[in-house]
Amino acid sequence: MAGKYRKVAYYPGCALEGTGHAYNRSTKAVGKKLGLDLVEIKDWNCCGAMEVKNIDPKIQTYLSARNLSIAEKMGFDTVMAPCNGCYHNLKKAEYDLAKDEGSRDVNTRLSEKAGHKTYEPGKVETIHALDWIKHSIGEEGLAERVKNSLKGLKVANYYGCMYTRPRHIFPEKDKGEGSESTSKPHFMDDLLAAAGAENVDYPLKTACCGGAHALSDCDTSTKLVLNLLTTAEACGADVIATECPTCHTGLEMHQVRAEKVLGRKTSVKILYFTQLLGMAMGLSPKTVGVHENFSDSMPLIKEKGLA
């Protein structure tokens, strides 16, 4: 499996070219440092995110399937999507095309109208950035490359909703030893532990951050994020590690809003897991985009000897 994932098609998605650019930067930097090859999908389009499915979920399936079709045309059988939303939507498209005749009909009709090959389910596997590093390098390979150990850094690993739910679109999970768990995900814990971090027992690792309601019901999002932040601090965490741009942005922005609107101040820092891994392997904070994060983690990073 290690060889299979050393060169994959890369689907950054919209968020990583916007508010999640630090995740894009750090993912590419970590891949390069590990000797892994990412080839960006040509002329990729939005996966449909959260908006399109509210209008017509079958069109969303087509939008995701088009990206898989392009990857296949480029000669790839694996697409890596770091964003939980993109990862979820591409996996869901795979499931819907395999199980739902209506989705297949719409996909065929729109593909023919757009003038590209209709994607057939089973041709391309979608993986997350966590799968990519876990299965291509693994904990041992990662530990061998650590130059600045994360020792002494207490981390709450936050996976969010869409990495594991709904379970039926992730048939590769819950397969026992070596596979990811949908009830207690651990891939991020495993990788950061290999880099020296101390993972705290964080009970809300798959709780919702309210990202889908950030515009329609901001107060609810702020309360959900505050729950995540205060629980992480109660667990003794210095940092919440993220692997989703929507979650990451929500945690940072609502941390500020919680103090301004609700009068609740928290000090736990928010960093992408790729930023932490990159610094552990000797990359500078700037190389992994720490300066692009909204919150200022540099005092903690310097205190821990990572800069």
Q: Where are the domains of the chain?
A: 7-127, 148-303
Confirm if 306 and 280 have CB atoms less than 8 A apart.
Answer: yes
Domains 7-127 and 148-303 share a fold: no
Could you tell me the two tokens for 180?
């990811």
In terms of CATH architecture, what is 148-303? 3-Layer(aba) Sandwich (3.40)
Burial state string for 4-33 with b = 16 or more CB within 10 A and e = fewer than 16: ebbebbbbbbbbbeebbebbbbbbbbbbeb
Positive or negative, the Cα torsion across 156, 301, 307, 25?
positive
Give residue for tokens 């692009």.
Answer: 292
pLDDT digits (tens, 9 = 90+) for 138-153: 999 999 999 999 999 9
Counting Cα atoms < 13 Å in the Cβ hemisphere of 247 gives 30
40, two tokens:
């960006």
Query: What's the pLDDT at 49?
Result: 82
- What is d(CA 251, CA 196) in angstroms, rounded to the nearest whole number? 24
Residue 216's pLDDT is 67
The CATH number of the structural domain formed by 7-127 is 1.20.1050.140
When pLDDT is averaged across residues 226-246 and rounded to a whole number, the result is 98
User: What confidence tens digit (pLDDT) does each residue in 249-300 have?
Assistant: 999 999 999 999 999 999 999 999 999 999 999 999 999 999 999 989 999 9
Give tens-digit pLDDT for 61-79: 999 999 999 999 999 999 9
Residue 103 pLDDT greater than 80, yes or no? yes
On the question of pLDDT at 19 being above 70, the answer is yes
